[in-house]
């Protein structure tokens, strides 16, 4: 019996050792090696941070040239005081790594196409696509520009050294929790990784395109129907630069190819390619107000960038003070400097330019080997980048990516016969021309903005921003305000880049960039303010270059309407405006929805929702049922109008925007798409609305019965952890807003950082972001700002001075020296 008991015990022990020291996949979820993960000495318990954790420390690093003091306030915001500026960037790198190392690692791995190394084969297709887009290739090109700039090279060197100083001090016990959860180790940082991170931001903000979808739509619809579905002009546009603003005389004259109608606009070749894209909603609001319209008589700058909401947050708040530098704002973990903020003289903020700077060209290769490609009547040699993708638990994957030279520019062939699903490989080859591939040094723009003292400094700084193109708002204590739609933008002819282009010669290549003195801008505008909300920068009739078709309209329009009517503006007014939930789209659309219905056509239970919609105050506030009714009703109406036309369309196709339908109906109540082509009768606007409302009632009654008709419950805003683990995220947040509101908070996207800077003699600034300073889910500083952010509350942004060393707001102090 003893032997039997011993054998049972031994077998159980061996099984437990095997179970606890191997990773498992249960119902699609990866489970870490539980032995290591639960180890009291090295596992997850080591990451539980006590609520009274003391961040005070005295540290020595031989890399430092002088002394640095870090004062953490009660919100864990570091106020860094360095005797030498590059030491400040060393400390910034150290702090980013200390509080956000895994986030930095994940983001650069994602951009470089290296997630499958640590997360397995499910991410291999995603990794291949990012590698084929050429983000590392783009970062290598930018790194050359960084290395040639002595100021930015030293800044990056110091930052990288600081990150590595933290990494080198880690052991398995002190690894961030996610490394233990997934089961891998951090690797050292490099300047290339910072460049990769900046290219990831370029991808998020300047990587969106719909060339394949638009090509399929053009080929599916008649030219007249296509023009109605995808108009080039937006009637409701209130452009960033007001209509009538003088534009510098045109210098570049793009020529439409003579064969465009037959080769480009009327080609019939369609594609099934459905690539990954950044979120089209990645945008922002910003505005600057001159002193004549403010209560203080000083300018006010406001900015709330809209990105995906996640934990850890993309933002890390801090102050950096060194000789000739004192800057406060938010930084990106992964790059040195402050990206949005203010110094002793001025403030700056950004919104996305929304321009299309990523186009596809069809390539003709010679033979199966693809050793050469046709260009300008000659067979040119193909160059290759052979990528070895490591895959956790699997053999390495070798992916050979062809590169071709289109004119003077080298472009990766992103999609070809070797990329696609096994059952549906691509039949054609497409090279991608993306402005982000070009050598540039965006970190120089931010470095110079951080040091700016006046409008001239701002101009000299901002011209270094090439990709992503941004609308950069500026305000200065001397009273100057400005906005500039800055970036390197192709000077396109009408329609260029909307569809896949032939890549067989120079004909369809970009013919030049818009000169910097033709980039639209405003300086001390007569109306007393300047603003942007990702709408088109100028009215098409007043600008010689093609800017594309579809831009958001309504946020920019309501911002301008509000600011035009306001005077004696205070910071508190701007807090209310940044968190305003008024829905201008609904203001314009509701009359169409309710004036063409008759209550007697519906039962009393059905009519309830129509009454809710009529009584709604047009605000997407917490508790609003009208906002939910409108959203459901409009979505069903949109689908009722267009589903019949798209019923037999290719799977990959562009749909019109909601604003297109609204603008069309405001002009023409007999819009041709109102007729259902699958029925013998001719449907009217009233018919479509009645059908859509009936469908909506079924959906609304279900939500109503579950007491989830209130807007915040229907919308269900959440902030997910980057691992996707629900326990590390926040869901069902009590917050209003919506995509067409100034408070553009949607389900998982929105104004993650809100900042208001009043440039009075002693700067008054306020801000909040949706997250916390620490990336450790076991820290009280992980998500402690979220509730304030959701409620629309702001924190005063304290610009500490050396005289404040004994201020009661200081909670911890770090001293660093060599």
Give the whole-angstrom CA distance, residue 389 versus residue 377: 35
Residue pLDDT, tens place only, 208-219: 999 999 999 999
255 phi, psi to nearest 5 deg? -105, 125
Give the whole-angstrom CA distance, residue 191 versus residue 125: 27
Give the whole-angstrom CA distance, residue 473 versus residue 290: 12
Six-digit token string for 322? 């060194």
Three-state secondary-structure class, residue 492 = coil
Six-digit token string for 812? 């911890």
Smallest Cα–Cα separation from 298: which of 570, 577, 525?
A: 570
HSE-CB at 243 with a 13 A cutoff on CA atoms is 7
What per-residue confidence (pLDDT) applies to 18? 44
CB of 629 closer than 8 Å to CB of 700: yes
Q: Is the dihedral of CA 230, 231, 237, 239 positive or negative?
A: positive
Six-digit token string for 805? 């060393």
Three-state secondary-structure class, residue 347 = strand
**Residue 354 falls in which region: left (phi positive, over 0), alpha (psi -120 to 50) or beta:** left
658 contacts: CB under 8 Å, gap ≥ 6 = 585, 634, 638
Six-digit token string for 401? 């990516």
What per-residue confidence (pLDDT) applies to 330? 98
Query: Helix and strand tally (H, E) in the chain?
Result: 22, 32
Residues of the chain with pLDDT under 50: 1-20, 24, 26-29, 31, 34-45
What per-residue confidence (pLDDT) applies to 30? 52
Q: What is the 3-state secondary structure (H, E, C) of 736-754?
A: CCCCCCCCCCCCCEEECEE
Give the whole-angstrom CA distance, residue 761 versus residue 764: 9
- Give the H/E segment covering residue 19: helix 2-20
13 contacts: CB under 8 Å, gap ≥ 6 = none
**Residue 28 falls in which region: left (phi positive, over 0), alpha (psi -120 to 50) or beta:** left
Burial of 606 (0-12, 13-18, 19+ CB in 10 A): middle
- Alpha carbon 473 to its chain centroid, in Å, reads 18
Q: Give long-range contacts, CB 8 A cutoff, 24+ apart: 184-189.
A: 184/117, 184/118, 186/101, 186/102, 186/105, 187/105, 188/163, 188/164, 189/93, 189/97, 189/104, 189/160, 189/163, 189/164
A 10 A CB-CB count for 56 gives 11
- Alpha carbon 682 to its chain centroid, in Å, reads 43
What CATH number belongs to 584-715? Answer: 1.10.1400.10
Residue pLDDT, tens place only, 567-611: 999 999 999 999 999 999 999 999 999 999 988 888 888 999 999
Query: How far lies 574's CA from each of 29, 284, 346, 563, in Å?
Result: 44, 15, 18, 10
In the numeric block, the tokens 């600057």 are attached to: 288
Give the whole-angstrom CA distance, residue 400 versus residue 128: 10
Smallest Cα–Cα separation from 449: which of 532, 315, 367, 340?
A: 340
Smallest Cα–Cα separation from 769: which of 273, 381, 340, 408?
A: 340
- Got the DSSP string for 363-399? E-BSTTTT-EEEETTEEEEPEEEEEEE--TTS--EEE
Give the whole-angstrom CA distance, residue 290 versus residue 524: 7
CB of 179 closer than 8 Å to CB of 185: yes
565 contacts: CB under 8 Å, gap ≥ 6 = none
615 contacts: CB under 8 Å, gap ≥ 6 = 626
Six-digit token string for 443? 């970190």
End-to-end CA distance of the chain: 67
- Got the DSSP string for 490-543? B-PPTTTTSS-EE-SSGGGS---B--GGGS-EEES-TTSEEEESSS-SS-GGG-
Pairing of strands 749-751, 481-486: unpaired
174 phi, psi to nearest 5 deg? -100, 5
What per-residue confidence (pLDDT) applies to 424? 59
499 phi, psi to nearest 5 deg? -130, 170
- Got the DSSP string for 641-684? HHHHHHTTS-SS-PPPPHHHHHHHHHH-TT-GGGS-TTSSS---
CB of 336 closer than 8 Å to CB of 470: no
- Give the H/E segment covering residue 417: none
CB of 499 closer than 8 Å to CB of 214: yes
What per-residue confidence (pLDDT) applies to 44? 47
Q: Nearest 5 degrees, angle CA 744-CA 584-CA 607?
A: 105
For the entire predicted model, the pTM comes to 0.93
Compute the 3-state secondary structure of the chain and give helix, strand, coil in percent, each to the nearest 5: 35, 20, 40
Six-digit token string for 353? 């330019």
Give the whole-angstrom CA distance, residue 484 versus residue 757: 19
591 contacts: CB under 8 Å, gap ≥ 6 = none
- Length of the chain, in residues: 818
């Amino acid at each position: 019996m003893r032997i039997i008991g011993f054998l049972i015990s031994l077998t159980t022990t061996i099984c437990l050792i095997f179970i606890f020291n191997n990773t498992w996949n249960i119902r699609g979820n990866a489970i870490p090696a539980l032995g290591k993960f639960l180890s009291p000495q090295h596992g997850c318990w080591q990451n539980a941070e006590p609520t009274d954790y003391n961040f005070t420390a005295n540290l020595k690093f031989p890399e430092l040239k002088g002394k640095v003091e870090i004062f953490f306030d009660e919100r864990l915001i570091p106020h860094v005081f360095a005797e030498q500026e590059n030491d400040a960037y060393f400390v910034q790198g150290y702090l980013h790594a200390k509080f956000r190392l895994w986030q930095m690692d994940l983001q650069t791995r994602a951009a470089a196409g290296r997630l499958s190394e640590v997360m397995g084969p499910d991410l291999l297709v995603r990794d291949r696509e990012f590698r084929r887009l050429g983000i590392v290739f783009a970062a290598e090109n930018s790194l050359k520009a960084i290395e040639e700039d002595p100021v930015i090279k030293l800044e990056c060197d110091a930052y990288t050294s600081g990150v590595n100083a933290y990494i080198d001090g880690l052991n398995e016990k002190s690894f961030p929790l996610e490394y233990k959860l997934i089961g891998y180790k951090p690797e050292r940082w490099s300047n290339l990784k910072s460049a990769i991170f900046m290219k990831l931001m370029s991808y998020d903000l300047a990587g969106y395109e719909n060339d394949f979808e638009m090509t399929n739509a053009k080929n599916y619809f008649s030219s007249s129907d296509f023009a109605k579905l995808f108009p080039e002009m937006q009637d409701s546009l209130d452009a960033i630069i007001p209509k009538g603003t003088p534009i510098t005389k045109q210098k570049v004259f793009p020529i439409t190819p003579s064969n465009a109608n037959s080769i480009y606009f009327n080609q019939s070749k369609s594609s099934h390619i459905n690539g990954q894209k950044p979120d089209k909603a990645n945008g922002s609001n910003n505005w600057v107000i001159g002193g004549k319209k403010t209560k203080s008589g000083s300018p006010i700058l406001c900015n709330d960038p809209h990105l995906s909401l996640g934990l850890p947050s993309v933002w890390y708040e801090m102050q950096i003070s060194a000789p000739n530098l004192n800057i406060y704002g938010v930084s990106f973990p992964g790059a040195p400097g402050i990206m949005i903020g203010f110094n002793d003289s001025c403030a700056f903020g950004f919104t996305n330019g929304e321009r299309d700077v990523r186009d596809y060209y069809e390539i003709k290769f010679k033979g199966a080997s693809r050793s050469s490609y046709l260009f300008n009547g000659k067979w040119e040699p193909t160059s290759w980048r052979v990528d070895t993708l490591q895959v956790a638990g699997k053999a390495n994957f070798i992916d050979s990516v062809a590169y071709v030279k289109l004119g003077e520019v080298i472009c990766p062939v992103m999609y070809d016969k070797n990329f696609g699903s096994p059952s549906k490989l691509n039949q054609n080859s497409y090279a991608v021309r993306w402005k982000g591939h070009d050598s540039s040094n965006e970190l120089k723009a931010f470095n110079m903005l951080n040091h700016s003292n006046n409008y001239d400094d701002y101009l000299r700084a901002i011209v270094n921003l090439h990709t992503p193109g941004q609308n950069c708002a500026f305000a200065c204590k001397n009273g100057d305000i400005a906005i500039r739609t800055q970036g390197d933008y192709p000077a396109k002819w009408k329609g260029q880049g909307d569809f896949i282009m032939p890549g067989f010669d120079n004909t369809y290549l970009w013919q030049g960039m818009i000169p910097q003195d033709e980039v639209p801008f405003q300086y001390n505008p007569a109306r007393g303010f300047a603003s942007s909300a990702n709408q088109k920068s100028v009215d098409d009739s007043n600008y010689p270059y093609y800017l594309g078709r579809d831009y958001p309209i309504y946020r920019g329009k309501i911002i301008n309407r509000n600011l035009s009517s306001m005077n004696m503006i205070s910071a508190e007014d701007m807090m209310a405006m940044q968190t305003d939930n008024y829905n201008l789209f609904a203001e314009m659309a509701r009359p169409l929805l309710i004036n063409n219905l008759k209550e007697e056509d519906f039962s009393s239970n059905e009519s309830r929702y129509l009454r809710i919609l009529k009584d709604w105050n047009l605000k997407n506030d917490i508790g609003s049922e009208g906002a939910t009714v409108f959203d459901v009703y409009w979505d069903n109406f949109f689908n009722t109008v267009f589903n019949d036309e798209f019923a037999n369309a290719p799977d990959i196709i562009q749909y019109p925007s909601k604003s297109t339908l609204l603008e069309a109906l405001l002009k023409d109540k007999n819009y041709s798409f109102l007729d259902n082509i699958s029925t013998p009768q001719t449907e009217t606007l009233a018919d479509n609305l009645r059908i859509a409302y009936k469908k909506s009632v079924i959906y609304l009654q279900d939500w109503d019965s579950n007491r989830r008709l209130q807007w915040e419950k229907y919308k269900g805003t959440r902030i997910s952890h980057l691992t996707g683990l629900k326990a590390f995220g926040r869901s069902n947040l009590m917050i209003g807003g919506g995509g067409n509101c100034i408070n553009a908070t949607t389900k998982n996207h929105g104004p993650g950082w809100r900042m208001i800077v009043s440039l009075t003699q002693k700067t008054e600034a306020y801000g909040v972001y949706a997250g916390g300073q620490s990336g450790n889910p076991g820290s009280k500083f992980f998500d402690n700002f979220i509730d304030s952010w959701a409620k629309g509350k702001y924190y005063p942004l304290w610009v500490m001075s050396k005289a404040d060393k004994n201020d009661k707001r200081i909670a911890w102090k770090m001293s660093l020296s060599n």
